[in-house]
Copies of this chain bind each other. A is one copy, B any other.
Amino acid sequence: MGDPRHDTTEPRRASEIATWDLDADVVVVGLGAAGASAALDAAAAGADVLVLEGAGAGGGTSAMAGGLIYLGGGTPVQIGAGFEDSVEDMYAFLMAASGPEPDEAKVRVYCDDSVAHYHWLVEQRVPFLAEFYPEPGMEPPGEEGLVYTGGEDAWPFDQIARPAPRGHKPRHTNAAGAFLMECLLAAVERCPARVRYDTRALHLVVDDDRRVLGLVARSEGRDLAVRARGGVVLCAGGFINNTDMVARHSPQLARCELKLGTDLDDGRAIRMAQAVGATTIRMDSGEVALPVTPPRSLVAGILVNARGQRFINEDTYYGRIGQEALFHEDGQAFLVVDEELYQPTRAGLHATWVCETPAELEAEIGLPPGSLESTLELYNRYAADGEDPQFHKAAEYLRPLTGPLGAFDFRVENPGSFYATFTLGGLHTDIDGHVLTPDAEPITGLYAAGRTTSGIAAHGYASGISLGDGTYFGRRAGRAAAAVVARADRR
């Protein structure tokens, strides 16, 4: 304790390290989904693996998740539930939905290997039930293993790629993140990788050529120098719980009440890597889940912004609705519904305003006079014919909203509105997890995966991408670091 330099992430020089307290071929920082997967595949490749977890147990933010994993291209779960999918449809969807400018190379290998990655999860004893759950977006409440989680079946993506549900939920009732992590942690226990808990990585150790040789970690009040012969793999989460970093890099996220992460999602691993010359990308990017449903029937309402204008097809993925509402509509959104819909529908969700006419409702909400009336007149005119030429909501949700009207308050400042967020920006890595400099050169000995990096989702998101790209690119990073040692041994 008490070393003032612990406040910073500045690297330690190898020449400062008198003796290494611990060593391994591959040192993995963090035991969430990405770290567990890195450890498993590095160990499977024959490497001596040491995992350092800052908390007293594994799981990380992954264990707080719904447990959805974005997989496709024709997995046994998709086929068993009666859905056709192809690698190319999955690729076309992800390229369109996760941009602008997603990392094409990452999306490519992620789609190409998705079925194989599914089988790897099953080999780690993660069970799936080949049953479809029709309410999109959320994880199924029961054991159903498949759900739409990205608006694949809604405009505009239904025009871009053949829709298929790709949210795979491990077989477990309710949220399955903790269950997924139980499975992966049990697999880690079965493998030869060592795990040290309550051990927080603080500084990387570099030589004179900026090669990463290991790290300094803190455990039980003591600094440990940890040698990593093949590489350090940073899988230590994002930065949603670092107030300064969020304010600097993605200030809109600061306004969201529900920040999905543990205390250790403080961006330290990102900063440790920056301190040795790594670059970050897309630090402004964030997932913003704004569930305006269930019940799904509410999709028949219209979402309007502070000007009383619609801004999205209400039947799309709620993560898309959240990003649009927060980043493009300044976090100002209202769901306007008719009498059939505005009755209390679930705990915490009930119409904030109820009025006889659009003019009264817009006045009550504080929308510009005439605005909601005008929006409804246009919407209703086409909805009567099952059409939505402005936003292309599907016909099944289209009907004129008439008679007494209600509105739900989905403004970001309204505590009941439930904007749930985490960061999507982070270290720039290649497909094998090499951490890159601003010149896009790999830093020798340094790897990363999961939300410590910018992954599949450049900006747009689909539920299941974080556990999906965390596990998949965690594995690739673990194998890449293990291969360094295997190559050295062959010499």
Q: How far is the CA of A322 from the CA of B477 in the complex (A)?
A: 41
Residues of B within 8 A of A441 (CB): 8, 10
A438 touches B378 (CB 8 A): no
Q: Which of B10, B208, B245, B378 contacts A13 (CB 8 A)?
A: B208
Given contacts A281-B248, A328-B328, A391-B307, contact A9 B381 (CB under 8 A): no
A210 in contact (CB, < 8 A): yes
Min CB gap A191→B, angstroms: 33
Q: How far is the CA of A309 from the CA of B252 in the complex (A)?
A: 24
Residues of B within 8 A of A274 (CB): 274, 277, 279, 437-438
For chain A, give the interface size range. 35 or more
Min CB gap A250→B, angstroms: 9
Given contacts A271-B438, A275-B438, A374-B374, contact A307 B251 (CB under 8 A): no
Given contacts A369-B389, A371-B390, A378-B370, contact A439 B101 (CB under 8 A): no
Most chain B CB inside 10 Å of its own CB: which residue of A9, A275, A282, A371: A275
A223 in contact (CB, < 8 A): no
Min CB gap A92→B, angstroms: 18
Q: How far is the CA of A362 from the CA of B279 in the complex (A)?
A: 45
Q: How far is the CA of A274 from the CA of B276 in the complex (A)?
A: 9
Q: Which of B247, B368, B437 contacts A10 (CB 8 A)?
A: B437
Residues of B within 8 A of A15 (CB): 208
Can you list 9 pairs linking A and B with CB atoms under 8 Å apart?
Answer: A10-B437, A13-B208, A101-B254, A276-B277, A308-B390, A368-B390, A369-B389, A371-B378, A374-B374
Inter-chain pairs besides A248-B281, A275-B438, A370-B382, 10 sampled, C-beta below 8 Å? A10-B437, A101-B247, A244-B440, A271-B437, A274-B279, A277-B277, A279-B280, A283-B283, A369-B382, A371-B389
| Chain A contact residues, CB within 8 Å of chain B | 7-11, 13, 15, 99-101, 208, 210, 244-245, 247-249, 251-252, 254, 267, 270-271, 274-277, 279-284, 307-310, 327-328, 368-371, 374-375, 377-378, 381-382, 389-391, 428, 437-441, 458
